[in-house]
Amino acid sequence: MDGKRVYVVGTCDTKGRELAYVRDLIRAAGVAAALVDVSTRDTSGSADVAARIVAACHPDGAAAVFTGDRGSAVAAMAVAFEHFLLGRDDVAGVIGLGGSGNTALVTHAMRALPVGVPKLMVSTVASSNVAPYVGPSDIAMMYSVTDIAGLNRISRIILANAAHAIAGMARGEAPAAAADLPAVGLTMFGVTTPCVNRVTSLLGARYDCLVFHATGTGGQSMEKLADSGLLAGVIDVTTTEVADLLVGGVFPCTEDRFGAIARTGLPYVGSCGALDMVNFGAMATVPARFRDRVLYVHNPQVTLMRTTPEENAQFGAWIGARLNRCEGPVRFLLPEGGVSLIDAPGKPFHDPAADAALFAALEATVRQTARRRLVRVPHAINDDAFADTVVAHFHDVTQGA
């Protein structure tokens, strides 16, 4: 492991015994480990890295952490621990133990680590909605079953499993790829799958195609890799997350959607995939204000709502404003035959007026240049000819990249 170690992280003032138990089991498994105290008071415990050492990594110094106010102290310690971790070159993995507060603190720093670095959080909240903790990262969440408050017949087993899991992650290595191909990020939804499948089949010999499910977090994960310098280009066929953000669906992007493209200048080909829909859960969960809209049951857990011309005009203006910030090579394709599998003649979401409003708003907003262009394509998004056009434009924007 070349001098690297697993960092075991938690608040030693309340969970020192449990943390030491995990650290010692990792060491017994033959992996170097260090216990890091992120208590929000300067304690003198048995940690390998004391809380004051971590707190001193805060940009404003340890005094910003040891405030005496728990809320501000936890938030500041999260920042300090992030700086501590990012300043290390010996991180083989990170494991945290805790309740909601410590889970928020530790996972904040975990999310700042590159994808691929082992990250495991043993938490009392891991059986609920963990999206705010995991975000676009590859954090593994393990439910603690009992509270992390002493060692008992249950917690000993759970914590031992966690210790052995992180030791195995840290010690193991992924098999080497057959070829070191440049990576391209693609966004896909069920209703754009034929397009993305054809694109990946056409590019697979030249690129390592990383496909992300456009569920809000999927787009964030793709852009995190872009910001991390791990992508050679992006084929953003499916921008549906924008519809959920602006209308109130369950798979929204953040306000920073397209931000990584602007920051990095990566070669980019995008399109309007699935902007004909907003996602909700089961039919009973659709908000009352939308019950008279065109709804489609995608499966028992997902109900889709057709977007209106007015909403599509809003999407086009929102996306266009962000494309204007992108100075790298950009092509954004407008599929005149429909933006999803169910936006076609005879299909439930066929609405040429809504698509026309989307395209018109994009054309009115985007400042087109030699490097930033909108392209109307006389095909539906899932036609082979559309996918072929996507690939042709991707080859165009990657020339010399």
| pLDDT tens figures, 334-352 | 999 999 999 999 999 999 9
| Percent with pLDDT over 90 in the chain | 86
| Percent with pLDDT over 70 in the chain | 98
Three-state secondary structure call for residue 195 = helix
Q: Are strands 302-306 and 295-299 parallel, antiparallel or unpaired?
A: antiparallel
What integer pLDDT is reported at residue 176 of this predicted model?
66
- CA nearest to 373, candidates 401, 396, 339, 340: 396
**Could you tell me if 272 and 337 are in contact, meaning their C-beta atoms sit under 8 angstroms apart?**
no
Instruction: Report how far residue 258's alpha carbon sits from residue 267's, in angstroms, rounded to the nearest whole number.
Output: 12
Instruction: Report how far residue 296's alpha carbon sits from residue 314's, in angstroms, rounded to the nearest whole number.
Output: 22
Return the higher-pLDDT residue of 137 and 36: 36
pTM (two decimals): 0.79
Q: How does residue 1 score in pLDDT terms, banded at 50, 70 and 90?
A: low
Q: Are strands 33-37 and 5-10 parallel, antiparallel or unpaired?
A: parallel
Q: How does residue 44 score in pLDDT terms, banded at 50, 70 and 90?
A: low
What integer pLDDT is reported at residue 125 of this predicted model?
93
Q: How does residue 136 score in pLDDT terms, banded at 50, 70 and 90?
A: confident
What integer pLDDT is reported at residue 179 of this predicted model?
62
| DSSP state at residue 276 | T
| Tens digits of residue pLDDT in 254-313 | 999 999 999 999 999 999 999 999 999 999 999 999 999 999 998 888 999 999 999 999
Instruction: Report how far residue 253's alpha carbon sits from residue 257's, in angstroms, rounded to the nearest whole number.
Output: 6
What integer pLDDT is reported at residue 129 of this predicted model?
87
Q: How does residue 31 score in pLDDT terms, banded at 50, 70 and 90?
A: very high
Residue 299 CB-density burial (10 A; 0-12 exposed, 13-18 middle, 19+ buried)? exposed
User: CA angle, 356 as apex, 352 and 358 as ends, to 5°?
Assistant: 120
Greatest CA separation found in the chain?
A: 71
**Could you tell me if 91 and 32 are in contact, meaning their C-beta atoms sit under 8 angstroms apart?**
no
**Could you tell me if 210 and 184 are in contact, meaning their C-beta atoms sit under 8 angstroms apart?**
yes
Which range, of 51-65, 78-92, 167-181, 372-386, averages the lowest pLDDT?
Answer: 167-181
Residue 168 has pLDDT above 80, yes or no: yes
| Tens digits of residue pLDDT in 306-337 | 999 999 999 999 999 999 999 999 999 999 99
Residue 365 has pLDDT above 70, yes or no: yes
| Tens digits of residue pLDDT in 99-121 | 988 999 999 999 999 888 999 99
What integer pLDDT is reported at residue 207 of this predicted model?
95
Bridge partners, 122 (sequence order): 97, 142
- CA nearest to 82, candidates 57, 104, 60: 57
CA 4 to chain centre: 26
Give me the torsion for CA of 119, 124, 126, 129, rounded to 10°.
Answer: -130
Residue 97 has pLDDT above 90, yes or no: yes
Q: What is the pLDDT of the chain when averaged over all its residues?
A: 94
Residue 183 CB-density burial (10 A; 0-12 exposed, 13-18 middle, 19+ buried)? middle
Bridge partners, 141 (sequence order): 121
What integer pLDDT is reported at residue 401 of this predicted model?
54
What integer pLDDT is reported at residue 117 of this predicted model?
94
- 149 Cβ partners below 8 Å, 6+ apart? 15
Helix (H) or strand (E) holding 184: strand 183-188
Compute the 3-state secondary structure of the chain and give helix, strand, coil in percent, each to the nearest 5.
Answer: 40, 20, 40
Residue 174 has pLDDT above 90, yes or no: no
| Tens digits of residue pLDDT in 218-263 | 999 999 999 989 999 999 999 999 999 999 999 999 999 999 999 9
For 129, the token pair is 């909605």
Domains, the chain, ranges and CATH?
5-171 (3.40.50.12020), 183-398 (3.40.50.12030)
Instruction: Report how far residue 15's alpha carbon sits from residue 97's, in angstroms, rounded to the nearest whole number.
Output: 8
Bridge partners, 6 (sequence order): 33, 93
What integer pLDDT is reported at residue 69 of this predicted model?
87
What integer pLDDT is reported at residue 81 of this predicted model?
97
For 310, the token pair is 């007015």
